[in-house]
Amino acid sequence: MQNRNLALDNCVKCSDCNAACPVLKVYPAFAGPKGLGPDMERFRREGVESDSQWLEYCMGCHRCDLACPHAVNVSELISRGKAQHKKTCRVALRDHLLARPSLVGKLRSSTAALTNAVMNFGPSHQAMSSLLEITPQRRLPRYSGRPLRAGDGVDEGTRKAVFFPGCFLRDIAPEAGRRVIELLRLNGFAVEVAPDSCCGTPAAANGDAAEMMNCVRQNAVAMGPALDAGACIVTACTSCGYALKADYAHLPTNGALAASARKIAGNTYDLGELLVGLLDAGELRTDFRPMAKKLAYHAPCHLKSQGIGRPWLRLLRAVPGVEIEEMKADCCGMAGTYGFKNEKYQISLDIGRELFERIKEYQPDAVVTECGSCQMQIEHGTGLKALHPAEVFYAAYPNRH
């Protein structure tokens, strides 16, 4: 494997990364990944002062990495820059909270009914928006009073899996997370639910490198014993999947933690990826009942970055009566916490406009996508219900319980 620290020298200024950047397409003032990544990294390494404010506008979609013909680790260079960028007090407080969704989830889920009402109540929502620079034009996600927890796994099954639900499926959409567990059970897996911890993507996106490493440590300790016992790790959120597979494989450190992180990276599978593997091996249950559904599918950026194709298109097309088409549009624009920020809200909508229009033209019964933040953005931009594809796939099995 190429030394990623040397990949900076591979940049030949071709600007393919800029051409692929969703932000630059709608916001020409943005410096772009070439400027913020390899160009500015040279200044950073020499200790030369430069305007780092534009780093905050990178979405972390990794399209620049996919576009680069010379294997420059553009998004990693930008992430390093974010970790050094100085913020104003209000923005620093906001990003500190947004970098810790697992902590916020624990606090809000314990008093879900009260906090859901208060957080979206007009005056309190406006006050919070003013204090934390969070847009008042979005409803904040509703947290469940019955979040997914470690005890929600299942013991039966000849194969072993650790389900890493991530913050969205654990605290905001736990019923979708329970469908994931049931799909694994129906196909022969004993499932352990990983303890409450974030993958670290929100921390990296908000420039908090220390919290990112804290997440890695927690997950290495929590999932290490199961991996040693022969289990695989299954994710159903593409951002979590990308983090565990790619970010954990290339930590800027060595030693035992890096070795544990690489073991996580080498044994992590996206749910759709895992189920398609079973389908190809003739080991997936396919006794589906017919379902008359017209579905629009959106492929999240972090799915594309994993290079595993579109597994849920294959899986849902195997269900009799399901009509599903991928919406050939760019990024949805949400990018986790990005679209909640005052200064980025309109950029977020501008990026997602093409996707919203194509979905509306298609007129589906529902939209399916693996990413929780994509689901929120699609519902916000179209008014249509957005689901995790596992929810539809699970409903196709007879005799569920």
**Beta-strand pair 386-387/366-368:** parallel
Does 5 have pLDDT greater than 60?
no
* Confidence check: pLDDT of 330 > 80: yes
Tokens standing for residue 300: 């999240």
Tell me the pLDDT tens digit for each residue of 40-69.
988 888 888 878 889 999 999 999 999 999
Nearest to 214 by CA among 103, 348, 356: 103
At 103, the pLDDT band (50, 70, 90 cuts) reads confident
Ranking 25-39, 112-126, 377-391 by mean pLDDT, the lowest is: 112-126
Quote the pTM value: 0.92
Q: At what angle do helices 122-132 and 112-119 cross, to 10 degrees?
A: 80
Q: Which residues pair with 322 in a beta bridge?
A: 293
Domains of the chain as residue ranges with CATH: 7-84 (1.10.1060.10), 286-395 (3.40.50)
Alpha carbon of residue 277 to chain centroid: 22
Q: Please determine, for residue 316, whether its predicted confidence score (pLDDT) is greater than 60.
A: yes
The pLDDT of residue 1 is above 50: no
Q: What is the mean pLDDT of the chain?
A: 92
Question: What region does 335 belong to: left with phi over 0, alpha with psi -120 to 50, or beta?
Answer: left
Query: pLDDT tens for residues 259-310?
Result: 999 999 999 999 999 999 999 999 999 999 999 999 999 999 999 999 999 9
Rg (CA), the chain: 21
**Euclidean distance between CA atoms 140 and 298, whole angstroms:** 22
- What pLDDT digit, counting tens, does each position of 59-101 carry? 999 999 999 999 999 999 999 899 888 888 889 999 999 999 8
**pLDDT tens, 104-159?**
777 666 677 777 777 776 777 777 777 888 999 998 888 888 889 888 899 888 99
CA–CA gap between residue 288 and residue 318 (Å, rounded): 8
